[in-house]
Amino acid sequence: HNTVDIDLLTQALRSPDANARAAGTRVLCYWRDHVPNALAELKRLAGDENPRVRLQAVRAASFFPVAEATDVALAATKREVDYYLDYTIGETLRQLRPQWRQSLGAGTAIAGGDPASVRYLLRTLSVPDLLSMPRTPAVSENILGRAGVTNVVRAEALENLAKVRGASPVALLLETIDSPAEIDAKGVGRLLLAQSPEALRAHRPALLKLALSDTSEGRSYAWAAMAMADKSLEPAWQEASASPLSRASLLGGIHLIPDATLRATAYERVMPLLAMTITDIEGPDHIVAAIQRDAIRSAVSTRREPAAVFAALGTMIERGYQVPTAAQGLRSLPRDAWSGDAAAATARTLVAWAQKIPANERTGRDYVETVQIAEELTGVLAATDAAPLRKTLAGLRVLSFVIRTVNEQMRYDIPRLVVPAGKAFELTFDNPDVMPHNLVVVKPGTREKVGTAAMVMKPDERDVRGRLYVPDSGDVLAATKMLETGQSETLRLPPMRGEGVYEYVCTFPGHWVMMYGQLVVTKDVDAYLKANPTTGAARPLAAAHSGAHNASH
């Protein structure tokens, strides 16, 4: 009858039966305006041994529009949190966000100032909301490990935190990358490798401990940092020889080393790995696969003897080892390393590989990129050799392309795409480079105009879609946002009916002069490629012509 009976409620809330306590907690929610110290009682119940009681307490807290109600939800995080509690805690904190966010911004203690509770709260904020908060130590700590922040913002957070705590940046980065919380290990790792060799050397024992970890995502960054600290690969190579996992992790770190001279010293060590068979490499199958993949990336990153690297990767492809990764490695090599005989053999092997992939699996990234490189390889062949391969490829591919930046070389790895007029297509842009880049598709003959317009834009000036350095111009047909290291974006371009040589370009100030490629739109792809064979820097990549593409569906 909705008659408030405090004694009966108190009896239920302290019952030895968990179901009675949960039912009483639900009633307390509805009687909250009539029960003294209701919020304090809910906080006690949020720590109950039974998860059903805790869930009812957290739900009840969402009806109290005060910052103190946040303590109830946070109290429930001190015990095991299952799916249902996690959902309810999240929804309650979202409901109470205006209250606790204001308190945090004003420096008012939440949950008694418990650092773990504050960290929990900050993790529930979106990146824009987090970046709008005052830069307290807790906020800087969260930014340091948060995915989705730029390298510059992460570095600023590290600097602020180091000043406040009086700690070295390297120590803070190691603490963050080895945290049990969900963090952006790649972003933190990149910042670790931006520290000086001297600063890294002072923390070598801690780096070695992280490198030898069985679980940390930051292992490869730790090995790379150790090589930087030693200014040599030799000590790390010896220390990593103790186990296949350590060896794989070190190989995964070589291509991350920012010092090109140091990276190049890995050439003699990784090239023999490319020549090994699977049975020659020690370790479980997944570790052997990782060693092969990272040996490929390391060999390409040394930028030494590109023709020898091409030959080694071609042999791996012929053996059927790591075909997509090896094909990706070929894309980053300079085209003058592509000899006719080796290119022809590799092209034929990749076409045969693509033919074995079921039709319903031909939209995956590995397949798309591997077929791209097969098509590009046909461009260096004699017309009589290229024609049958192109004809086969025309029925194998979909109108989807991947373009990457080449690390430290201010260029795209695919400088020319050839697509059929009147067909929609997808273009995915990946940025593994250390600098931010974008990809902007422009009308024929307008690259310089668009590039110079971008140069005069303010650093914080965005277009209507929130993109930096994309001019408000009718010459811009499509554009990604400015991508930080490791980011990716896919553009879905509508049919382009007007034939011509369009271009794609990076509009970060000054990049447009060197970093661009051609997007050729033509009614007859095969005829265009025959009339415009690849030479030197001109590297065609053909889409299937319309008839074959339709048949492939």
The pLDDT of residue 535 is 45
What digits encode the pLDDT tens for the residues 224-249?
999 999 999 999 999 999 899 999 99
How confident is the prediction for the chain on average, in pLDDT?
Answer: 89
Per-residue pLDDT tens digits for 264-288: 999 999 999 999 988 888 888 889 9
Per residue in 196-217, pLDDT tens? 999 999 999 999 999 998 877 8
Q: What span, in angstroms and rounded, lies between the C-alpha atoms of 248 and 251? A: 5
**Helix (H) and strand (E) counts in the chain:** 29, 9
Binned at pLDDT 50, 70 and 90, residue 548 comes out as very low
Asked if the model's pLDDT at residue 537 lies above 50, the reply is: no
* 423, amino acid identity: K
Local structure of residue 545 (DSSP, 8 states): P
Q: 483 and 437 in contact (C-beta within 8 Å)? A: yes
Q: What is the pLDDT of residue 361?
A: 86
User: Which residues are CB-contacts of 436 (< 8 A; sequence separation ≥ 6)?
Assistant: 150, 151, 482, 483, 484, 485, 508
Which pLDDT score is estimated for 107? 64
Q: Cα separations (Å) of 434 from 107, 240, 255?
A: 36, 26, 12
Q: Predicted confidence band at 103 (pLDDT cuts at 50, 70, 90)? A: confident
Q: In this predicted structure, what is the pLDDT of residue 114? A: 76
- Residue 108 is predicted with a pLDDT of 66
Q: Which of 49-58, 89-98, 171-180, 528-537 shows the lowest mean pLDDT across its residues?
A: 528-537
pLDDT above 90 as % of the chain: 65
pLDDT at 335: 83
3-state SS assignment for residue 179: coil
Q: Give the tens place of pLDDT for each residue, 434-488.
A: 889 999 999 999 999 999 999 999 988 999 899 999 999 999 999 999 999 889 9
Half-sphere exposure of 400 (CA within 13 A, CB side): 16
Residue-wise pLDDT tens digits, 517-526: 999 999 988 7
Give 337-373 pLDDT, tens digit per residue.
Answer: 887 788 889 999 999 999 999 888 888 889 999 998 8
Alpha-carbon distance 307 to 337, whole Å? Answer: 4
Q: What is the spatial distance between Cα 304 and Cα 308, in angstroms, rounded to a whole number?
A: 9
84, 54 Cβ separation under 8 angstroms: no
Check: CB of residue 425 under 8 Å from CB of residue 401.
yes
| d(C-alpha 329, C-alpha 298), whole Å | 10
Q: What is the 3-state secondary structure (H, E, C) of 314-362?
A: HHHHHHCCCHHHHHHHHHHCCHHHCCHHHHHHHHHHHHHHHHCCCHHHC
pLDDT at residue 181 greater than cutoff 80: no
pLDDT digits (tens, 9 = 90+) for 389-417: 888 888 887 788 999 999 888 999 988 99
Evaluate if residue 94 carries a pLDDT over 50.
yes
Write down the pLDDT at residue 112: 67
501 vs 336 pLDDT, higher one:
501
pLDDT for 109: 65
Residue 378: is its pLDDT beyond 90? no
What's CA 511's distance to the chain center, in Å?
Answer: 23
When pLDDT is averaged across residues 293-302 and rounded to a whole number, the result is: 95
Q: How high is the pLDDT of residue 429?
A: 96
**C-alpha span between 231 and 233 (Å, rounded):** 7
Distance CA 470, CA 140 (A): 30
For position 379, what pLDDT does the model report? Answer: 80
The pTM for the full model equals 0.77
Please state, in angstroms and rounded to a whole number, the distance separating the CA atoms of residues 110 and 96.
12
CA dist., res. 163 & res. 169, Å (int): 9
pLDDT in tens, 120-140: 888 888 888 889 888 888 899
Tell me what pLDDT residue 113 has: 66
The pLDDT value recorded for residue 194 is: 95
More confident: 551 or 151: 151
Q: What is the mean pLDDT of residues 176-203?
A: 92
- Mean pLDDT over 79-103 rounds to 90
Torsion of CA 70, 71, 72, 76, to 10 degrees: 110
Spatial separation of the C-alpha atoms in residues 180 and 213, rounded to whole Å: 13
Stated length of the chain: 553
